[in-house]
Amino acid sequence: MDRRHFLGLTGAAAVAPFAQPVARALAQSAPGTITYGQSTSIVTLDPAQGAFSNYPGGYEAALCLFDRLLDFDADMKIVPGLAQSFQLASDLKSITLKLRPGVLFHDGTPLDAAAVKFNIERLMDKARNPTNRPLWDPVTAVETPDATTVIIRTGAPYAQLPNSLAHASGSIVSPAQIAKVGEKGFAQAPVGAGPFEVESFKPGTELTLKAFDRYWGGKPAAQKIVFKFIAEAATRISALRTGAVDVIDSVPVQLVQPLTQDPNVTVLRKPGLRPIGLVINLTREPLADVRVRQALNYAVPVETIAQRVFFGFAKAPDSPLAFDTVGHAAVGKSTFDQAKAKALLAEAGWKPGASGIVEKDGKPLKLDLYAPDGLFPGDIPVAEIVAASLKQIGVDAQISKIEKGAYWDQLRQDRAGLKWDLAMFGFNPSNASGLYHMESLFKANKDDAGRPDVWNVGRYRNPKVDAALAAANADADPAKQNAALAEAQKLVWDDAPYIWLQVNENVSAARKSVSGVEVWPIVFTVVRRAKA
C-alpha cells in the first residue's frame, strides 16, 4: 500500500480559508458580559422535555442556568453540588444526599427535599422524559425523611447513580415555575437555581443570562452571558478575532495554527471522550463473520488519518473507550496491514473477482457506508479515506452522505429498516462513565428486531460482555469494577463490531481578556465560571 496515496486524499481536508470578517456587524460585548459564539443553537431548556435539544449547545447553557445534586469539575471528577454530601449504600441500591440549606430558585421558592423529589420523579417518568433513559430507568423511588435529606433508591445495584445525578439532564428545576407555565411552557421560560437566570431567550438564535444575586455559591464571575448561534466555523473565528464574541467552540483543526498566532486569542484544547468509528451492521451475512470485520479494521490507515486529517489533534484508539474515560483499558492496537486484511478475507472465503472486488458464491462484497455531512469531525473526508482503503483490499464501499439533522433516525431504525452496512458514529459519555458508554453501545438489545434499546444500532450481542458489564455495575470496589470493565473492552475489541477510527481533541478558543473558560472532555465548552 502506498502511504502517499492517503496523504493526497487528505490534502483537500487540510485547507480551509478564513471567512471575511462578516462578524464585524455583531455588537461588541458590554463590560462584564461574556458572549459565546456557539456552533449549535439552543432551542429548549428543560432537562426532561427534550433534554436541551441540539447537542451540546443546550447542555452548555444548562450548566449556567441550573445546578445539579452533584456536579463535575473540569476533569469530570464528581464533586458536591446542591447536595453538600452524599453516601452510596454498600449494596449500590440507594444513595443518601444531604442538601445545602437555604438554597433558592430564581423565582425565590426554596430548593428543598420536596423540590428534589418532584424533579427526580419527573425524570423517572418516561412519558415526560423520553431521553437519557439509561441514566434514569434504574431509579425506582425517592424518599424525603426531612427537608434537607433525600434518599434515592434503585431496583438493582447501580454504581453509576452519582454520575446520573451529576449529568446535565439531572438539573434541578423550580416546581413552582412548572405549575405556573406548564410542562411545555417551561422549556422556553425555565427557572433553576444556578448562578445565572434567564434575561431573554430567542430559541434557535440567542439566549441571554444574567447573574443571580442570591446564588448560594456566591456572586458569579460575569454579569451576563450571551449564547449566540453562529453556524459557520469561519464566521465564528472572524467574530472572535474582531472581538464580536469572547468564546467559540468547534474550531476546525486546520484553522488552529492562524489562531495561535493571534496575540489576542488563546486556543483551548482537551482530549475528548468520544471515539469515532464505523458501526458495523451485524445483521448483514458477510459482516456476521468476525474475520471480515477484523479485515476491515486492518485495511484502514488510522494513524495516518489522525496525523493528516486532524493534524495530530486526534489519536488512533486502543480500546472501545477513549483514553481518558473512567475505566479505560488499553486492550488492542490500531494496525494498518492490508496484507493481513486480504488474508483474513481469503480465510473467510472471499476471493478476488474479475472486477477487483472480492467475491463469495458469485456475489461481490459491496457495502453501503453512511456518513453525516458536518456532524462529526472530518466525517466526509474520513469516510472517503475509509472507502478508498477498503477498495485496496477488494471491498466496494459506496458512501451515502446524510444530512446531519436526519442522521440519528437513519441509525436508530428497527432491523427491517436498516439500509446501511457501515455507519459513522461517535458516542459521547456525557456522564463521564466508561461503564455507561459500554452498556449504551455493546449491551445486547432486548429485541434485535426492534429499535435498539440505546445505541447498539449494529445489533452486537455477546453474553460474556453482558455478564462483565453487569458485574462492573454491581461491584462497589473500583478496582474490581474496572477489571470487569476491562474484560468487556477486550472482548468487544476482539469481536470488532466497529471499524475503530480516531479519538479527537475538543478545540475551542477565547479572547485573552477572558479567563475561566473550561473545555470539558465531553465536548462541552463551559462558561459558567468565565470572567471578562
Per residue in 451-467, pLDDT (tens digit) is 999 999 999 999 999 99
| pLDDT score for 514 | 97
| pLDDT score for 386 | 98
In a domain, 22, yes or no: no
| pLDDT score for 28 | 57
Q: How far apart are the C-alpha atoms of 426 and 407, rounded to whole Å?
A: 12
Per residue in 117-131, pLDDT (tens digit) is 999 999 999 888 777
Q: Tell me, yes or no, whether 298 and 191 share the same domain.
A: no
| pLDDT score for 11 | 39
- CATH code for the domain of 343: 3.10.105.10
| pLDDT score for 14 | 37
Q: How far apart are the C-alpha atoms of 422 and 491, rounded to whole Å?
A: 20
In a domain, 247, yes or no: no
- CATH code for the domain of 58: 3.40.190.10
Residues 6+ apart with CB under 8 A from 37: 23, 228, 230, 236, 239, 240, 244, 245, 247, 248, 249
Q: Which three cell numbers stand for residue 459?
A: 445489533
Residues of the chain with pLDDT under 50: 1-25
Q: Tell me, yes or no, whether 292 and 413 share the same domain.
A: yes
Beta carbons of 272 and 506 less than 8 angstroms apart: yes
| Length of the chain measured in residues | 532
Domain range holding 287?
3-12+272-504
Q: How far apart are the C-alpha atoms of 38 and 453, rounded to whole Å?
A: 31
CB atoms within 10 A of CB 392: 18
- State how many domains the chain has: 2
- The percent of residues above 90 in pLDDT, for the chain, comes to 85
In a domain, 367, yes or no: yes
Nearest to 329, CA basis, from 496, 491, 457: 491
Angle at 162 between CA 219 and CA 74, to 5 degrees: 45
| pLDDT score for 213 | 95
In a domain, 178, yes or no: yes
Q: Tell me, yes or no, whether 373 and 413 share the same domain.
A: yes
| pLDDT score for 30 | 66
In a domain, 33, yes or no: no
Q: Tell me, yes or no, whether 152 and 223 share the same domain.
A: yes
Q: Tell me, yes or no, whether 200 and 290 share the same domain.
A: no
In a domain, 363, yes or no: yes
> What is the 3-state secondary structure of 464-480?
HHHHHHHHHHCCCCHHH
DSSP per-residue letters across 226-282: EEEE---HHHHHHHHHHTS-SEE----GGGHHHHHT-TTEEEEEEEEEEEEEEEE-T
| pLDDT score for 22 | 41
| pLDDT score for 27 | 52
In a domain, 291, yes or no: yes
